[in-house]
Amino acid sequence: MTVSDHGARHVAIIMDGNGRWAKKRLLPRVAGHKAGVEAVRTIVRAAGDLGLEAMTLYAFSSENWKRPEEEVNDLMGLMKRFILSDLDEFAANDVKLKVIGDWRALAPDVVALIDNALDRTSGNKRTTLAVALNYGAQDELVRAAKAAAAQGEITAETIEANLDTADMPPLDLLIRTSGEVRLSNFLLWQSAYAELYFTDKLWPDFTPADLKAALDQFARRDRRYGGL
């Protein structure tokens, strides 16, 4: 499948269900998060093969700090290992890494790792992988509105120009796994005319075949953008 087959350029995913996946198997939550990282690797590899120019993954929301400290530490540790272990693969597969959200408020060692990864992949062009870290869409909109006001008039165009995703293609399809059917403060502005796709699959069980099925359904939808 190429972009001409399904028409999508930018897909975003709310990767939900790691904890429930682990609970079903009587495993600790961190095991679910580890399985979720493996799913990320598989789906990112598939994104380029399926002709996607960009993919945005909801990795850690600004609300996730409310989780138990041990789980937050596990998530940060997994993220660091993911960046370190996959950076060479990103480079080899022409994947450009982008991070959205208030990620510079994270721990200094995490920020340093991200800065290095962004620098190493900045020239890559096949697929952009945007990872939402310490991200909340309401916070993004506040930041974008403040930036627009500082530059002059606040309009839909100036807000959009100051979003974290301003240099990415418009969002076409937003997928949420695990059976939940809400946006959870993710890409609220960008989702205004995006197609939404919900699946009962838990994130660690989400495969390239599932991504292709979502894209196949997207291709059959009639996007009217408020028109007839």
For 91-130, write each residue's pLDDT tens digit: 888 999 999 999 999 989 999 999 999 999 999 999 999 9
d(CA 37, CA 59): 10
pTM given for the model: 0.93
Strand partners, 97: 129
pLDDT at 92: 85
Distances (CA, A) of 33 to 36, 75, 81, 86, 163: 5, 7, 12, 16, 28
pLDDT tens string 140-180: 999 999 999 999 999 999 999 999 999 999 999 999 999 99
pLDDT at 3: 46
CA angle 57, 81, 202 (to 5 degrees): 40
Per DSSP, the residues of 141-188 read HHHHHHHHHHHS---HHHHHHTSTTTTSPPP-EEEE-TT--S-TTSST
Alpha helices in the chain (DSSP H): 3-6, 18-24, 29-49, 69-92, 108-121, 137-151, 156-161, 208-220
**Chain centroid to CA 31: how far?**
21
Domains in the chain, CATH or no CATH each: 3-220 (3.40.1180.10)
pLDDT at 2: 45
pLDDT tens string 199-226: 999 999 999 999 999 999 999 998 777 7
pLDDT tens string 40-94: 999 999 999 999 999 999 998 988 888 888 888 888 888 888 888 888 888 888 9
Whether the predicted pLDDT of 4 surpasses 60: no
Average pLDDT over residues 7-34: 95
Say whether 74 sits in a helix, a strand or coil. Answer: helix
Task: Please identify every residue annotated as catalytic.
Answer: 16, 64
Whether the predicted pLDDT of 11 surpasses 60: yes
